[in-house]
């Protein structure tokens, strides 16, 4: 068992990484500590680079399809990690999950239809349907004892004949919830009854921390399986978002035929050589890397939580049950959102995501990406403490 070095500081500047090289345009300062866009500052499992390099040495990159081993690696992974037995015919490559959401919206709804989301939630859930001129309806999550819960009664009450799709973030970004079986069953029942198609975005599923266990939405009941399109990917899990290798899983033949025909009409289901290879390599050889990465991420989460409790008690971390994003409750600082963002960016020199981009419930929050070496986090929190102390001295 090799020990991977997640403490290694790797300079990403100059690679066109959004996280570093878009700081100047997005935040007006290229030198901030970058804790925003959701990728990690860790090297992917070595097997991924090895597979790409080995294939690159061949030197011919003509039209290339997915191999049987690629499909097997996904089927085995989903079974091994999520206890869900999927069939190869349910699987289709898609060029990214946000694009997949757009395809579903385009394929299954029309202009006057409503798309239900559960904010605060990953912002493209709102932006993509809106850009497609669909009506986005909020079924806000409820904050109960510092954790988000689904508002099942609220969902029942808001459904209208025009409600056609619900986009589920499973697990949840930015709150980090791993939804319970009961929550998923409830959603499945209601949506089945009202013929609302569910998109289950499970991009963060491999990153659930024990004892939490991700439950694939479609696995909770036959109604869930027959009325959903699941999206998964190795991109967050193994830090290969730039390679773009996602897939849809659709057990229902009618839905699958319709969606796949839509994809095929523009060849959107065709991946590229390295997308297939990287996914396969990660799924076949990445287990140990993932175990160690999750341990490291969990230690970072614990560090942030303890640091805040001792040094900046006005800011509270919502402890994620999955993934490397921490939702920071900054409401006790009593700042307007503009001043809160300015405190982080201009005073503390930190680039986090402004909570309001996640919609309803995001006011007073910031999202911090802790998929980075601990040394970066220590520095960031020291900066934040100084900025908060100074601000409060001058009040």
Q: Which two tokens stand for residue 170?
A: 């499973």
The CB-of-330 to ligand PLP minimum distance in angstroms stands at: 21
In the complex, least distance from residue 368 CB atom to ligand PLP, rounded to whole angstroms: 14
Q: Which stretch binds ligand PLP (CB under 6 A): 42-50, 94-102, 177-185, 308-316?
A: 94-102
Q: How far is the CB of 17 from ligand PLP (least distance, A)?
A: 14
DSSP-based three-state secondary structure for 120:
coil
Other CB atoms within a 10 A radius of the CB of residue 204 amount to 27
Q: Distances in Å between the alpha carbon of 88 and those of 13, 221, 283, 330, 348? A: 39, 20, 16, 46, 49
Exposure on the CB side of residue 285, measured as CA atoms within 13 A: 16
Indicate which single residue of 23, 40, 47, 98 sits in contact with ligand PLP (rule: CB under 6 A). 98
Stretch that binds ligand PLP, among 91-99, 104-112, 127-135, 182-190 (CB under 6 A): 91-99
Looking at beta carbons only, is 35 or 312 nearer to ligand PLP? 35
Q: What is the 3-state secondary structure (H, E, C) of 42-100?
A: CCCCHHHHHHHHHHHCCCCCCCCCCCHHHHHHHHHHHHHHHCCCCCHHHEEEECCHHHH
Binding string, residues 226-255; x marks residues near ligand PLP by CB under 6 A: -------x-x-----x----x---------
User: In whole angstroms, how close is the CB of 170 to ligand PLP at the nearest point?
Assistant: 9
Longest dimension (CA), the chain: 65
Can residue 35 be called a binding residue for ligand PLP (CB under 6 A)?
no
Confirm if 364 and 27 have CB atoms less than 8 A apart: no
97 binds ligand PLP (CB under 6 A): yes
> In this chain, which of 114, 173, 219, 239 binds ligand PLP, going by CB under 6 A?
173
Part of the chain binding ligand PLP (CB under 6 A), chosen from 19-27, 47-55, 92-100, 281-289:
92-100
275 binds ligand PLP (CB under 6 A): no
CA 32, 37, 39 angle in degrees (round to 5)?
110
Rounded Cα distance between 364 and 328, Å, is 9
Q: Summarize as ranges the residues that interact with ligand PLP (CB under 6 A).
A: 38, 96-98, 122, 169, 173, 201, 203, 233, 235, 241, 246
């Amino acid at each position: 068992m090799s020990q991977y070095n997640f403490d290694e500081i790797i300079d990403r500047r100059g690679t066109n990484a959004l996280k570093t090289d878009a700081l100047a345009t997005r935040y007006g300062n290229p030198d901030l500590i970058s804790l925003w866009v959701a990728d990690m500052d860790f090297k992917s499992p070595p097997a991924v680079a090895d597979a790409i390099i080995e294939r690159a040495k061949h030197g011919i990159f003509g039209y290339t399809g997915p191999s049987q081993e690629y499909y097997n690696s996904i089927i085995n992974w989903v079974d091994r990690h999520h206890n869900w037995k999927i069939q190869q015919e349910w699987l289709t490559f898609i060029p990214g999950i946000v694009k997949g959401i757009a395809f579903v919206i385009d394929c299954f709804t029309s202009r006057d239809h409503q798309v239900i989301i559960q904010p605060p939630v990953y912002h493209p859930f709102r932006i993509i349907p809106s850009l497609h001129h669909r009506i986005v309806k909020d079924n806000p999550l409820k904050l109960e004892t510092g954790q988000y819960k689904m508002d099942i009664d609220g969902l029942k009450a808001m459904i209208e004949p025009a409600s056609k799709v619900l986009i589920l973030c499973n697990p949840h970004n930015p709150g980090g919830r791993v939804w319970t079986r009961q929550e998923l069953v409830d959603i499945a029942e209601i949506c089945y009854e009202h013929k609302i198609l569910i998109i289950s975005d499970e991009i963060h599923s491999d990153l659930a921390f024990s004892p939490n266990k991700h439950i694939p939405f479609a696995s909770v009941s036959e109604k869930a399986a027959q009325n959903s399109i699941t999206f998964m990917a190795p991109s967050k899990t193994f830090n290969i978002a730039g390679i773009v290798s996602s897939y849809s899983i659709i057990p229902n033949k009618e839905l699958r035929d319709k969606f796949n025909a839509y994809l095929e009409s523009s060849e959107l289901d065709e991946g590229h050589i390295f997308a297939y290879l990287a996914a396969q390599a990660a799924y076949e050889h990445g287990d140990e890397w993932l175990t160690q990465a999750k341990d490291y991420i969990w230690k970072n989460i614990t560090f942030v939580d303890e640091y805040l409790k001792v040094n900046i008690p006005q800011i509270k971390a919502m402890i994620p049950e999955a993934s490397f994003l921490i939702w920071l409750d900054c409401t006790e600082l009593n700042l307007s959102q503009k001043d809160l963002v300015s405190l982080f960016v201009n005073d503390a020199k930190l680039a986090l995501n402004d909570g309001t981009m996640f919609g309803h419930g995001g006011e007073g929050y910031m999202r911090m990406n802790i998929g980075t070496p601990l040394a970066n986090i220590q520095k960031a929190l020291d900066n934040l403490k100084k900025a908060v102390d100074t601000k409060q001295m001058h009040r």
